[in-house]
């Protein structure tokens, strides 16, 4: 994974892209969110960021690069995948910018571009499309090492999508669904 410090190296070779900013602002508007353009770099987001210490995520610098038009570079750096999604940055931003959701939108762009999705997402997605849930039921051990499942614990069966074929069809179409708002 590319460290955030090396984003600056990428910047040396790139030009800002204002059409990306317009598209991003359009999508954020559909979600009822402000443009990162009004970010004044107070860094409150970064001082509270749950991924800052361990994974070096600096939301304020992601916002700075975004508003400068270096959006493709941010997506290519993969730094957006370090966000925990704790929403502290959104909660505390005095300008009501939402770095966490800007990063969600940019991760959506990354995925839509066909790049390999990091982590367990592919597997979770497959489970969800097939059975309705991101993972199947697991067997767990109790303190005496006896194995249990929902049945042995007296829990009722969870009944997922009735028409699994239609559910899977609608979800597979999502690959081309965009927030829109251009």
Partner 1 sequence: MTKKIGLYPGCVIPTEQYGYEMSIRKIMPELGVELVDVENISCCGAPFKSINLVMQTYLSARNMAIFEMEDLDIFAPCPQCHLSLTETKQRLESSGELREKIVSRLLEEEGLEYKGALKIYHTLDLLHDLVGIDVLKGKVNKPLGWNIACHYGCHTIRYTGADRPDSAEHPMKMESIITTLGGTTSDYSEKLNCCGGPLMTTHKDSALTKAGEKLKAVQERGFDALAIVCPLGGRVLDSKQERAAGMVGEKLDLPVFYLTQLVGLSMGMEPESLGLNLNKSPVSKLI
Instruction: Catalog residues that contact partner 1 under the rule CB under 8 A.
Output: 30-32, 50-51, 54-55, 81-82, 84-88, 90-91, 104-105, 107-108, 111-112, 117-121, 124-125, 128, 132-138, 140-144, 148, 150, 153-156, 158-163, 166-167, 170-171, 174-175, 177-181
Nearest to 17 by CA among 101, 89, 75: 75
In the complex, minimum distance from the CB of residue 67 to partner 1, in angstroms, rounded to a whole number:
21
DSSP 52-93: HHHH---HHHHHHHHHTT-HHHHHHHTGGGG-----HHHHH-
CA–CA gap between residue 100 and residue 102 (Å, rounded): 6
Kindly tell me which of 13 and 147 has the beta carbon lying closer to partner 1. 147
Long-range contacts of 137-145 (CB under 8 A, 24+ apart): none
Kindly tell me which of 42 and 155 has the beta carbon lying closer to partner 1. 155
Nearest to 74 by CA among 66, 82, 85: 66
Nearest to 56 by CA among 100, 1, 3: 3
Contact criterion met (CB below 8 Å) for 138 and 112? no
In the complex, minimum distance from the CB of residue 16 to partner 1, in angstroms, rounded to a whole number:
25
In the complex, minimum distance from the CB of residue 105 to partner 1, in angstroms, rounded to a whole number:
7
Kindly tell me which of 68 and 171 has the beta carbon lying closer to partner 1. 171
Kindly tell me which of 43 and 148 has the beta carbon lying closer to partner 1. 148
Count Cβ atoms below 10 Å from residue 126 Cβ, excluding itself.
Answer: 11
Kindly tell me which of 14 and 123 has the beta carbon lying closer to partner 1. 123
In the complex, minimum distance from the CB of residue 81 to partner 1, in angstroms, rounded to a whole number:
5
In the complex, minimum distance from the CB of residue 42 to partner 1, in angstroms, rounded to a whole number:
17
């Amino acid at each position: 994974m590319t460290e955030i410090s090396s984003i600056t190296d990428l910047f040396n070779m790139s030009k800002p892209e204002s059409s990306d900013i317009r598209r991003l602002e359009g999508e954020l508007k559909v979600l009822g969110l402000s443009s990162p353009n009004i970010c004044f770099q107070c860094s409150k987001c970064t001082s509270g960021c749950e991924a800052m210490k361990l994974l070096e995520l600096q939301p304020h610098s992601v916002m700075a690069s975004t508003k400068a038009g270096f959006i493709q570079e941010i997506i290519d750096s993969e730094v957006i995948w370090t966000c925990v999604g704790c929403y502290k940055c959104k909660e505390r931003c005095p300008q009501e910018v939402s770095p966490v959701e800007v990063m969600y939108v940019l991760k959506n762009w990354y995925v839509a571009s066909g790049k390999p999705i990091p982590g367990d997402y592919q597997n979770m997605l497959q489970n969800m499309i097939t059975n309705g849930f991101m993972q199947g039921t697991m067997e767990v051990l109790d303190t005496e090492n006896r194995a249990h499942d929902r049945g042995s614990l007296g829990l009722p069966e969870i009944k997922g999508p009735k028409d699994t074929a239609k559910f899977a069809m609608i979800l597979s179409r999502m690959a081309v669904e965009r927030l829109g708002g251009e």
